[in-house]
Structure 1
Amino acid sequence: MNSTNEGTHKKNFDATRIKVCCIIVSFNPQIENILHLTLGITEQDSFVLIVDNDSRNHQELESRLPKSANIKFIQLPNNTGIAHAQNVGIEYALFNKYTHIVFFDQDSTIDSDFIRQQVTAFEHIRSVQLQLAALGPAFVDKKHGFHYKIVNIDRHGRRTKIDTQHMQQPFAASLIISSGSLVAADALRAIGPMDERFFIDYVDTEWCLRAHAKGYVIFVNPQVQMLHAIGDNSLKLLKWRVPVHSAFRRYYRIRNAFFLLKMPHVPTLLALREIAFNLVHQLVLILFGHNKMGYVRSLWRGLKDGLNGKY
């Protein structure tokens, strides 16, 4: 993918004080993917912490990891969700005095200079934006090759989309996804960990909005890119591609949108839009997807628990 121009981000910071911990949350992963990602991280002089959510293949995964002081594997006794697993990693990183944390999904793919580029860009931006909390990359769809747009939200919840494809300089953003995001340890201490009540969906959305509410800023570096895919598959409907997640995942998507509505740092318009969008999305999956009854049940449970505030 694209590389950051060396002249754009000068190393005007003390690189010797930087300690990067990369947290990978795994759940029934493709082991080759994690091994490739782990190798790519360690080759960039960064520490890898894999937090496994009780995967069926966790023993094989742990046994195949290289024996290295820069790799640690933590096995959780059951699947407690991505937010809790990330918090386990955050607690470890903060206790061991890492200065920066990078979050990855188990299927993330990075370039050979991804972490160094992001750390350099982060420190350059923070020399001007002292309240910088996190820096995300730009994302390109794995299957179809298009660039995902970055969403900005004003204080009323109105959205604007930013196309990163032809941008050169880092820019402020309201929301970034956790995969590939680099977060300052001191910002995490001030903003707080991930909200474990969300389990999986909207974890990064809520944290970004909480960061903004506490006076922090978030940036995207369009010169550093990652491949990404939303959903397990997609449905082609007229000119749109509709992401397809499991019924299990759709339950959390629907339920958690109602949770956003109750949070004072989340714009009401944003939460209402997510509720409406998820209901339409669910209807499409029920009408055109497989496992129709599974989606009907997840809709019912998501509505019931969301309205009742059941975490």
Structure 2
Amino acid sequence: MAKCRTCSIIVSYNPEIENLVALTKTLALQDDFVVIVDNNSHNKESILSITKSLDRCHSILLDKNTGIAHAQNIGIEFALAENYTHIVFFDQDSSIDEYYIRDQLQVFAKLKSQHPKLAALGPAFVDKKHGFHYKIVNIDRYGRRTKIDTQHMQKPFAASLIISSGSLVSADALRDIGPMDERFFIDYVDTEWCLRAHAKGYVIFVNPQIQMLHAIGDNSLKLLKWRVPVHSAFRRYYRIRNAFFLLKMPHVPTLLALREIAFNLVHQLVLILFGQNKMGYVRSLWRGLKDGLNGKY
């Protein structure tokens, strides 16, 4: 059996350097290689200094913000060219322990012996600010959703969708399934890739024994018993536009795409009514609808 060689890909954009240093150092101690792909951050010289100071680290500094999907693909291209067997994706604010890669590789290998077409293994997520466990969403062939609570689960389980951050992906699966769809820029990139993987007969698992802290949105609004994530108007444009793109893809269940469209429109209305920068959200709603319906990338 060939030795596992992992390459971690961190995508950064104006990161907090302290967080990025901590993540990179932790990975450098347990990983074969670490690549930071930076989307033209204002502090990219500091990012360059991180990788220069550590062994088995490399940075790729892009001259403009090309989106998370393109940045991930730059890292994927590097890892595949160097014949790494597994790729692990991270956000710039991810936080892991010193055994993360080892533990995930062990579980991946065990699952792979039972499921030859295993594409990816993700962690469970805990909200960074409020401490609750994010539920994993499974969907059937018609797009009907089932939520899985990972809080008290012990064994890995199959999942329809996982977040790219923290996910361990087989390089062979990536070669077959294909890279991230750069047309999405940022939102639904991992959703589309997971659904494409399933359409090709692959399976995806979650390991609830491995947990990562995660935060959705820059902030949140508390409305009655609901907590509504708040993203920038810039980000909300892609969220709305890309939901319409999902509707046109044969490997995406229609019901799922329609739900995302409806949910995003309601979410946008809440932000317009109760959030800051109301006109910014109105403009991003208009642009998202116009470009989504016209299929403009």
Cα shift at 1:64 = 3.8
Residues 65-105 of structure 1 deviation map (CA, whole Å, 9 limit, x = unaligned): 45334100000111100000000000000000000000000
The one-letter code sitting in structure 2 at the alignment partner of 1:174 is S
User: Which of 87, 108, 116 is matched with 2:94 structurally?
Assistant: 108
Q: Please tell me whether residue 137 in structure 1 is matched to residue 123 in structure 2.
A: yes
Match of 1:282 in 2: 268
Aligned to 2:104: 118
Please say if residues 152 and 174 of structure 1, whose CA atoms lie closer than 8 Å, have aligned partners that are also in contact. yes
- The alpha-carbon distance between structure 1 residues 64 and 133, as it changes in their structure 2 partners (threshold 3 A), is closer
Deviation at 1:61, TM superposition (A): 1.9
- Ranges in structure 2 where 5+ consecutive residues have no aligned partner: none
Alpha-carbon contact 1:191-1:210 (below 8 Å) kept = yes
User: What is the SS of the residue equivalent to 1:273?
Assistant: helix
SS in 1 for 2:102: helix
Q: Which moved more, 1:16-25 or 1:178-187?
A: 16-25
2:90–2:164 contact (8 Å) kept in structure 1: yes
Is 2:280 the counterpart of 1:294?
yes
Which residue of structure 1 aligns with residue 216 of structure 2?
230
Q: Which runs of 5+ in 1 are unaligned?
A: 1-13
Q: Greater shift after overlay, 53-62 or 191-200? A: 53-62
1:217 is matched with 203
In the other structure, the counterpart of 1:249 is 235
1:9 alignment partner in structure 2 = none
Q: Is residue 2:290 matched to residue 1:304?
A: yes
Structure 2 letter corresponding to 1:143: K
Paired residue for 2:85, among 76, 90, 99?
99
Q: Find out whether 1:57 has 2:43 as its counterpart.
A: yes
The corresponding residue for 2:12 is 26
Question: Could you say what the CA RMSD is over the residues aligned between the two structures, in angstroms?
Answer: 0.8
Q: Secondary structure at the match of 2:63?
A: coil
Q: Quick one: distance in 1 between partners of 2:89 and 2:275?
A: 31
Match for 1:174 among 128, 150, 160?
Answer: 160
Instruction: Please give the alpha-carbon distance, in whole angstroms, between the structure 1 residues aligned to 2:115 and 2:125.
Output: 23
Pair 1:187-2:173 in alignment:
yes
Aligned counterpart for 1:262 among listed residues 239, 245, 248: 248
Aligned residues: 297
- Give the conservation status (yes or no) of the 8 Å contact 1:135–1:220: yes
TM-score for the superposition, normalised by structure 1:
0.94
Alpha-carbon deviation of 1:60? 1.9
Q: Aligned pair 1:196/2:182, yes or no?
A: yes
* Structure 2 Cα separation of the partners of residues 279 and 28 of structure 1: 29
Q: Separation in 1 of the partners of 2:140 and 2:50?
A: 46
Is the 1:140–1:148 Cα contact (8 Å) retained in structure 2? yes
Structure 1, residues 90-136: CA drift from partner, whole Å, max 9, x if none? 00000000000000000000011111100110010000000000000
C-alpha deviation, 1:295, in angstroms: 0.2
> Retained in 2: the 8 A contact 1:103–1:179?
yes
Seq. identity, % = 78
CA distance in 1, matches of 2:106, 2:238: 36
Distance 2:172 2:14 in 1: 32
| Superposed displacement of residue 236, structure 1 | 0.2
The answer on whether the counterparts of 1:35 and 1:65 sit within 8 Å (CA) in structure 2 is no
**Structure 1 residue 142, shift from structure 2 partner:** 0.3
